[in-house]
Amino acid sequence: MSTPIASAGTIAALLQPLYERNQEATIYVGNIDNKVNEETLWELFLQCGPVVNVHIPRDKITGDHQGFGFIEFRTEEDADYSIKIMHMIKLFGKPIKVNKATMDKKTLDIGANLFVGNLHDEVDEKMLRDVFSSFGIVTSAKVN
């Protein structure tokens, strides 16, 4: 008699397209020990609310996980609750980091290093900063 590798619910969750997942109800769990697997995270976070899916990205060659994972809850409220309860608890002696998997688009900063060449000799760092500050925050400006 063969033992099923995964339940029907687990297979359905794995096959569910990414766009159908509730990104607002998904959390990131970081700093997880090598002993931690999907079942461990499922059981731990089930204490915070109904878990829909657990995903731990793995190295394609070694099969080892990369120290982080994602947990999708049924509701955003359950995800927020899990962040408050589980952030920095120790799992196999390591404090796990728990926060939202999606970043708020309002707080998303886009940064770039920009090189501007062939400037006139009169252009200084203040002038360069003043010109580019109308496009956003300038963290540093240097004229050589």
The residue extents of the domains of the chain are: 8-100, 109-144
Take residue 117 and report the two structure tokens written for it: 């060449």
Q: What is the pLDDT of residue 128?
A: 81
The CATH number of domain 8-100, selected from 3.30.70.330, 3.10.50.40, 3.40.50.1220, 3.40.50.720: 3.30.70.330
What mean pLDDT comes out for the span 74-90? Answer: 95
Q: Which of 21-30, 32-41, 60-69 has the highest mean pLDDT?
A: 32-41
Q: What is the pLDDT of residue 5?
A: 55
pLDDT of 13 over the 60 cut: no
pTM greater than the 0.75 cutoff? no
